[in-house]
Amino acid sequence: MAKLDRVLADPDVVSVQELALAARNHGMPLEAMHYDITPVGLHYLLHHYDIPALDPVGFRLRLGGRVRTPLELSLAELRDRPAMTVPVTMECAGNGRARMAPRPLSQPWLDEAIGTGEWTGCSLAALLDDAGLLDDAVDVVCCGADRGTEGGIEQRYQRALPVAEARRPEVLLAYALNGAPLPPQHGFPLRLVVPDWYGMANVKWLTDIEVIDRTYDGFQQTHAYRFRHDVDDDGTPLTRMRPRALMVPPGIGDFPSRARQLVLGPTVLHGRAWSGSAAVESVEVSTDDGTTWAPATLDPPVGEHAWCAWSHRWEPPSPGDYRLACRARDAAGDAQPGSADWNTGGYANNAVQRITVTVVDANGVAPT
């Protein structure tokens, strides 16, 4: 298997190349965890290549390869199929990359590459049933209309799912987000939505599905989106989202430093938590830099494949700086690590988030 010799970025500073990516691809400002369903425009975005502008009238989804009956469907035909709406929490596989040291050179995410969309579409499993998978079907390759070069190779963005994953009942061919047609930047007119997996599986601008009789070995499967501890490691493919809790930074923020300030008194710390492998079982909060932890109150999840809200009442004892943290554990027993599980691609960093807040008295003063 080919290896990807990832370029490392300067640990202390960000390059103009990374900045150009950050100006295009944006996170979800953490205060938007206020919303069960992320309003359009606040959900994170990560595009490898340019956003294509597709004509919905001429649009056809082609499904072929190892099937009995190849299919070709217009958007109207896809909309005529039984529809389902699924709230899905999605996180970029590279979320937290910019908190790694050394930092792999790619989109420099801090903590915000998240969002929860209410996706509407038809079942991929039902479409595969209609086409009739042949017995030797192994992988379902999904190809987007976005095109560029990567690792020296010209390509359209393509990712595969093993047949068993593609047949999960909640995997969607989505044509709507939050009750409206997909916006261009979320894959108009059609995208794949794979609940519980990291974002790379959710192919946007989906035009072609090819069922193949072997394990797919395309660039985004064998070079990118693999968890490797060094470049000689073949690694393992990224799949489901690791458990994670995030906190809305409390108080008010400074511009441009984003430093937080909170007036002394009772407050409610809150945020969201999710895991791609199992339900979130607990969220714990620390207000003393991880020395002690207290359980947060968990709300029911927004959906079977979506985050839940958590909250924790806190009354700081006195003015001063506090280091806050939160951590989730899921029903499969997976919990967040204290520090990043470093890997060459900078993927799946679910290390505990830490926020410094300065508590001030009623006059806005904190001890120095």
Q: Can you give the three-state secondary structure of 38-106, one letter per residue?
A: CCCCCCCCCCCCCCCCCCCCCCEEEEEECECCCEEEEHHHHHHCCEEEEEEEEECCCCCHHHCCCEECC
- Least Å from the CB of residue 50 to a second copy: 5
- Comparison of 292 and 356: residue with beta carbon closer to a second copy: 356
**Closest listed residue to residue 142, CA positions, set 89, 193, 98:** 193
Instruction: Name the nearest CA neighbour of 195 among 282, 292, 305.
Output: 305
Toward a second copy, which CB reaches closer, 26 or 354? 26
Residue 135 has φ and ψ, to the nearest 5°, of -60, -25
If the CB atoms of residues 47 and 191 are measured against a second copy, the closer one turns out to be 47
| Cβ closest to a second copy, residue 32 vs residue 298 | 32
Tell me how far, at minimum, the Cβ of 235 lies from a second copy, in Å: 19
Residue 13 CB, shortest distance to a second copy, in Å, is 4
Cβ-based nearer residue to a second copy, 27 or 87: 27
Tell me how far apart the alpha carbons of residues 277 and 275 are, in angstroms, rounded to a whole number.
Answer: 6
Sign of CA dihedral 4, 45, 186, 171: positive
Query: Residue 48's closest CA among 180, 162, 218, 210?
Result: 218
Alpha-carbon dihedral angle through residues 142, 144, 150, 155, given to the nearest 10 degrees? 80
Min dist. Cβ of residue 222 to a second copy (A): 16
Euclidean distance between CA atoms 114 and 112, whole angstroms: 6
Q: Which residues bind a second copy (CB under 8 A)?
A: 10, 12-27, 29, 31-32, 34-35, 39-43, 45, 47-51, 53, 98, 105-110, 112, 147-150, 154, 180, 183-186, 249, 252-259, 261, 364
The nearer residue to a second copy, 150 or 281, going by C-beta atoms, is 150
Nearer to a second copy, 88 or 133 (CB): 88
CB-nearer residue toward a second copy: 162 or 183: 183
What minimum distance in Å lies between the beta carbon of 35 and a second copy? 8
- As given in the structure block, the two tokens for residue 68 are 């009995």
- Name the CA dihedral angle for 143, 346, 355, 18, rounded to a multiple of 10 degrees: -80
Nearer to a second copy, 171 or 352 (CB): 352
Q: How far is the CB of 103 from a second copy (least distance, A)?
A: 10
- Indicate the length of the chain as a whole number: 368
Residue 83 burial (CB count, 10 A): 15
Cα–Cα distance measured from residue 101 to residue 16, given in angstroms and rounded to the nearest whole number = 18
Instruction: Report d(CA 366, CA 248) in Å as an integer.
Output: 22
What minimum distance in Å lies between the beta carbon of 353 and a second copy? 13
Pick 148 or 337: Cβ nearer a second copy: 148
CA quadruple 150, 154, 157, 160: dihedral sign:
negative
As measured in angstroms, the least distance from the Cβ of 309 to a second copy is: 14
Q: How far is the CB of 224 from a second copy (least distance, A)?
A: 9
From the CB of 66, what's the least distance to a second copy, in Å?
Answer: 30
CA 360 – CA 326 distance, rounded (Å): 22
Half-sphere exposure of 248 (CA within 13 A, CB side): 19
